[in-house]
A and B are shown apart, each in its own frame.
Chain A
Amino acid sequence: MPKKEMPAGSLVLLILRVLQSGPLHGYAIAQKIYVLSAEVLHVEEGSLYPALQKILLKGWATSEWGLSETNRKVRFYSLTPAGRAQLEAELADYSRVAEAIQSVLKTA
């Protein structure tokens, strides 16, 4: 199965979503998306970190120092209330668009 790059714009949504269940470090975010997408969606370093920087700048997430499973000091990202609100808004948008696309695909 070929690895798929993210459709533009949906990466932020996915990152926010995987952070919903608790703080994660950068690599864990990529891994979680990869695993949860049944190894279809592969998040490259080159798109993950710019997206994370954007999320931090917008105030949707904050970072804290913590220890990784390999005992290394890394940053853990966690959602802020603003991030939760953003996630909900983006989810609602996404479902609307997805439904719309679905209905076009089915009926056309």
Chain B
Amino acid sequence: MSEIFRRIQYLLNRRRMDEELAGDMEFHREMAQRGGRSNFGDTLRLREDAREAWGWMWIDRLGQDLRYALRVLRNAPGFTLAAVLMLALGIGVNVAAFGFFNLIVLKPLPVRDPDTLLRFKRSAPERYAYSLPYQEMAFVRSHAKTLSAVLALNTTRLTMEGKEGPALVHFVTTNFFSELGAAPKFGRLLDASRDEAPDAPLVVVLSHGFWRSQFGSDPSIVGRTIRLNGRVLAVLGITAEEFSGLSMDKPDLWVPLVQQPQIVTGSHLLTELNEGVGVRTWGRMQPGVTPQGVEQELRYIVAEFRQQHPAEIWEKESLVSQPGGYAKSLMIGDRSGTGTEQPDKLYPLAMLIGSLVFLILAAACSNLGGLLLARGVSREREISIRTAIGAGTGRLIRQLFTESVVLGLLGSAAGLALGYLVLKLMMAWTGAPEWLDASPDWPVAAFATGTGFVSAILFGLAPAIQVARQRHRSTFSKQLLIGAQVAASCVLLIVAGLLIRALDHALSASPGFEYEGAVAVMPGLGSHGYTPEQSRAYVDALKDRLRELPGVASVSATATPPLAGSNVMVVGVTIDDGRHLDVHWNRVDPGFLETMKIPIRAGRTLTSSDMAGILISESLARKSWPNENPLGKHFLSGEDATGAQVPYTVIGITRDARMDALEDPDSVDAYMLAGKDDLPKMAVVVRMSGSLESIVPAVSSIARSIDPRVHPRVQTLKGAFRQKMEGIERGTAAAAVLGASALLLACLGIVGLVAYAVSRKMKEIGIRMALGARPGHILSLVLAQFSRPVAAGLVVGIGGAAALSDLLRRQLFGISPLDPIAYVAATALFVGTVLVAALIPARRALRVNPTNALRCD
């Protein structure tokens, strides 16, 4: 211990210690000279040897190397700039990708003690749901000893007087704000002691964004009232701008959950135990409790609750937790389904993106490696002088590698800035919530620095060794670098090609139903407290009135409006070869297939008495019963009119149509009649023969006359389709930009190497020309050495793309991940561009004047 202490003292007082040592040695010499000896070694060298014992020489050497590296880089500003830009690109895209991952998965939400928050889902062997019935949540809240608090949230769209379009309302438990450690900007937030009581006045908290857009940031709104769904609520306060809440959407208003029935009259949210209505639930762990401990306790509590409600609480139900203080847990929303839950799609996607951005870095690094080797030629003199005055190979390698590390770190800094910019733009583009703070935190900074180091090793270590040993003229390492660049760019181009093909296919091919002339009318009856019977009456009235409108060709109802992405119900089935299929459950009325123009291929369509009948799509039929007639087979099960579980019987096969997951070839659709529980969720789809514009005011006036409280949302399916396409368009654009940058890098690399090859072979070219070689011969002379590495790189790249593309399969709209058009087009584009790029410097070889060339050395 004290030795380390002394070492540090030596480090801190290095200069004084060195002087003392010098004094000692000088004295030693004086004395020795008197004694008649005079064979002394080099003082400096001897002193260095003695200092070595302190163990700090590496700091001195590092300092020397750094100073020298900075001087070398400053003297070659062009090279330094090119290298840093290249690295900034390579590191920047990695930083952006990691920054996004960091925001979603690693960075805790800006709330109090995010690490002790858990989010719960209901889970049983055959089903899962991410929202709990209110009563179940309340039972857990009053019984769990391992949780210090339980938070719950229910989201609804309601009409607010003075606001165009519906307001996004979050009903929350009154401990919501205090548990999350939120402070108000003005007024106060919800308070369990004042707002929880049954007779408490109706109150609302405004979000910062809503307060700004709706009330022009007027603080005097606090204490006034707003009218929500016809009820008067007192405005308590406004949240701070940076408050995240527990959702990725941007809520306008927060209202106590216990007041929900008073605002949404007739709602049974607080009493209903059926699936589909419920609250997202979080718990805060007591200190010293593990998530496993919580789950253990909740298993007993849920089992106890099931004894009181055996019909509604599932058999073997447990509440499974996941970390609740991270954005990832907020992205799930209210999903529910039966069968096995579809595996997390985030990680394969993250894997894919990670691989692609790494390839860009690899391309940048191999390019830079080539540049360093080429620079080695111009530094031959310097290196040989340094060797001559006693620098060992190890010392030279360390010096050259230090230069690369400095470059790598400069690249890190530039990449960090670029990555931040890209991420910021991406988030502005996708309308991410404002509290998601993209500015780099320490994991991102560490990632950027680490990436800089790794790239320094990738691009700098091998050239340093080769240049120090004066072997940088070897063609093998150059060919390796070329091959690596070709492979990396090839993968990126092919992936971009696949995405472009998929987008093209998605835009031109039909999703299996006609969306162009159709409109979805979504009244959201459930959030207005409609019972199934009332809902049926409302939907029937709405359908009848819509049918009378001019220009309306067909009207029907569905619980899952096409392309809306809401209320989607997915049943996972595993088919024979072990693949996981997502069956999208469309609960519809008998006319739905006709309205959507989905033809029946075999069997018959649904009639209003087919409670146990199911229509399945061709793909599902083919995958579930290959070489068999599926008609009459039993498939999964549902509830009949009395609520008992009965198996569905396949009565018809439809043409393939994807109502929601257009991009996923493993999703298939099935259609059955809507059950009683579906009725409050029903939407009406209208097929128009005339223009679509007239429908919006017509729907509003019809809706007003049926029930003035309900303001149905109207969306053209074409608009919904466009929206869905925007996501993949962005992804494709990003992949295309990555592919183009990789192509550019590869071209730059090839141009540099060919130019170098031409200048080295000047004399040979001159001789050959003098002997009558044709231009074709000369070109092949300078280009031939690159054909093999390029070909090898292409093979590796195509293989790599094929291996990677399986991760993309479910995003490709049914285009095969081995789609030959994408592969051939990408490869052709690459070879063509690189060939043209290579010809630019190669032409110089043709202009060689033999007499001059022979004279030159």
Chain A residues within 8 Å of B, Cβ to Cβ: 25-27, 30-31, 45-46, 48-54, 56-59, 63, 68, 70, 72-75
CB distance from B29 to the nearest CB of A (A): 8
* Contact mask for chain B residues 757-786; partner A; CB cutoff 8 A; 1 contact, 0 none: 000000000000000000000000000000
Contact A53/B46 with A26-B28, A30-B28, A70-B30 known, Cβ cut-off 8 Å: no
Contact A49/B30 with A57-B6, A57-B10 known, Cβ cut-off 8 Å: no
Residues of chain B from 2 to 20 with CB closer than 8 A to chain A in the complex: 2-3, 6-7, 10, 20
Contact, CB under 8 Å: B32 / A27: yes
Contact, CB under 8 Å: B3 / A58: yes
Q: Is B435 an interface residue (CB 8 A)?
A: no
Contact, CB under 8 Å: B51 / A45: no
Q: Is B31 an interface residue (CB 8 A)?
A: yes
Contact, CB under 8 Å: B27 / A45: no
Contact A74/B50 with A27-B28, A27-B32 known, Cβ cut-off 8 Å: no
Pairs of residues from A and B, 8 with the lowest C-beta to C-beta distance, nearest first = A53-B53, A49-B50, A27-B31, A54-B53, A27-B28, A50-B50, A26-B24, A74-B27
CB distance from A78 to the nearest CB of B (A): 15
Residues of A near B312 (CB, < 8 A) are: none
Looking at chain B's contact residues, the main secondary structure is: helix
Write 26 A-B pairs (CB below 8 A) sorted by A numbering.
A25-B27, A26-B24, A26-B25, A26-B27, A26-B28, A30-B28, A31-B31, A45-B25, A45-B29, A45-B32, A49-B47, A49-B50, A50-B52, A51-B53, A53-B51, A54-B53, A57-B3, A57-B6, A57-B7, A57-B54, A58-B3, A59-B2, A59-B3, A70-B30, A70-B31, A75-B24
- CA–CA, A57 and B54, complex, Å: 7
Residues of A near B3 (CB, < 8 A) are: 57-59
Contact, CB under 8 Å: B24 / A49: yes
Residues of A near B30 (CB, < 8 A) are: 70, 72
Name the contact of A46 in the complex, choosing from B7, B35, B41, B55 (C-beta under 8 A). Answer: B41
Looking at chain A's contact residues, the main secondary structure is: helix
Contact, CB under 8 Å: B24 / A74: yes
Name the contact of A49 in the complex, choosing from B7, B25, B32 (C-beta under 8 A). Answer: B25
- CA–CA, A26 and B46, complex, Å: 14
Q: Specify the chain A residue showing the minimal Cβ separation from B55.
A: A57
Contact A68/B25 with A27-B32, A57-B10 known, Cβ cut-off 8 Å: no
Residues of B near A63 (CB, < 8 A) are: 20
Residues of chain B from 50 to 101 with CB closer than 8 A to chain A in the complex: 50-55
Q: Specify the chain B residue showing the minimal Cβ separation from A57.
A: B6
Q: A26-B27, A49-B24, A68-B31 are in contact. List 20 more A-B contacts (CB 8 A).
A: A26-B28, A30-B28, A31-B31, A45-B25, A46-B41, A46-B46, A48-B28, A49-B47, A49-B50, A50-B50, A51-B53, A52-B50, A53-B51, A53-B54, A57-B10, A57-B54, A59-B3, A59-B6, A73-B23, A75-B20
Q: Is B825 an interface residue (CB 8 A)?
A: no
- CA–CA, A74 and B24, complex, Å: 6
Residues of A near B29 (CB, < 8 A) are: 45
Contact A45/B23 with A27-B31, A27-B32 known, Cβ cut-off 8 Å: no
Q: Specify the chain B residue showing the minimal Cβ separation from A51.
A: B53
Contact, CB under 8 Å: A72 / B27: yes
- CA–CA, A26 and B28, complex, Å: 7
CB distance from A85 to the nearest CB of B (A): 14
- CA–CA, A51 and B28, complex, Å: 15
CB distance from B8 to the nearest CB of A (A): 11
How many chain B residues touch A (CB < 8 A): the figure is 28
Q: Is B40 an interface residue (CB 8 A)?
A: yes
- CA–CA, A89 and B548, complex, Å: 109
Q: Is B21 an interface residue (CB 8 A)?
A: yes
- CA–CA, A26 and B52, complex, Å: 18
Residues of B near A56 (CB, < 8 A) are: 6
Residues of A near B49 (CB, < 8 A) are: 46, 49-50
- CA–CA, A52 and B46, complex, Å: 13
* Contact mask for chain B residues 422-439; partner A; CB cutoff 8 A; 1 contact, 0 none: 000000000000000000
Chain B residues within 8 Å of A, Cβ to Cβ: 2-3, 6-7, 10, 20-21, 23-25, 27-32, 35, 40-41, 46-47, 49-55
Residues of A near B51 (CB, < 8 A) are: 53
CB distance from B15 to the nearest CB of A (A): 15
Contact, CB under 8 Å: B53 / A25: no
Contact, CB under 8 Å: B46 / A75: no
CB distance from B60 to the nearest CB of A (A): 15
Contact A49/B27 with A27-B32, A57-B7, A57-B10 known, Cβ cut-off 8 Å: no
Q: Specify the chain B residue showing the minimal Cβ separation from A55.
A: B53
CB distance from B662 to the nearest CB of A (A): 72
Residues of A near B41 (CB, < 8 A) are: 45-46
CB distance from A65 to the nearest CB of B (A): 9
- CA–CA, A74 and B49, complex, Å: 20
- CA–CA, A35 and B517, complex, Å: 111
Contact, CB under 8 Å: B6 / A53: no
Contact, CB under 8 Å: A49 / B46: yes
CB distance from B70 to the nearest CB of A (A): 31
Q: Specify the chain B residue showing the minimal Cβ separation from A42.
A: B37
CB distance from A75 to the nearest CB of B (A): 6
Q: Specify the chain A residue showing the minimal Cβ separation from B53.
A: A53
- CA–CA, A57 and B53, complex, Å: 8
- CA–CA, A49 and B20, complex, Å: 12
Q: Specify the chain A residue showing the minimal Cβ separation from B27.
A: A74
Residues of A near B24 (CB, < 8 A) are: 25-26, 49, 74-75
- CA–CA, A45 and B22, complex, Å: 12
CB distance from A76 to the nearest CB of B (A): 10
Residues of A near B50 (CB, < 8 A) are: 49-50, 52-53
Report which residue of A30, A48, A50, A72 has the largest number of chain B beta carbons within 10 angstroms of its beta carbon: A50
Residues of B near A30 (CB, < 8 A) are: 28
- CA–CA, A57 and B155, complex, Å: 69
Residues of B near A52 (CB, < 8 A) are: 50
- CA–CA, A52 and B49, complex, Å: 12
Contact A45/B52 with A26-B27, A57-B10, A68-B27 known, Cβ cut-off 8 Å: no
- CA–CA, A63 and B21, complex, Å: 11
Contact A49/B21 with A26-B27, A70-B30, A74-B27 known, Cβ cut-off 8 Å: yes
Residues of B near A31 (CB, < 8 A) are: 31, 35
Residues of B near A51 (CB, < 8 A) are: 53
Q: Specify the chain B residue showing the minimal Cβ separation from A54.
A: B53
Contact, CB under 8 Å: B46 / A74: no
- CA–CA, A48 and B16, complex, Å: 20
- CA–CA, A57 and B29, complex, Å: 24
- CA–CA, A57 and B35, complex, Å: 30
Residues of A near B27 (CB, < 8 A) are: 25-27, 68, 72, 74
CB distance from A23 to the nearest CB of B (A): 14
- CA–CA, A72 and B29, complex, Å: 13
Contact, CB under 8 Å: A53 / B21: yes
Contact, CB under 8 Å: A75 / B54: no
Residues of A near B47 (CB, < 8 A) are: 49
Q: Specify the chain A residue showing the minimal Cβ separation from B7.
A: A57
- CA–CA, A68 and B28, complex, Å: 11
Residues of B near A45 (CB, < 8 A) are: 25, 28-29, 32, 40-41, 46
- CA–CA, A4 and B6, complex, Å: 33
Residues of A near B6 (CB, < 8 A) are: 56-57, 59
Residues of B near A53 (CB, < 8 A) are: 21, 50-51, 53-54
- CA–CA, A31 and B21, complex, Å: 18
Residues of B near A26 (CB, < 8 A) are: 24-25, 27-28
Residues of A near B21 (CB, < 8 A) are: 49, 53
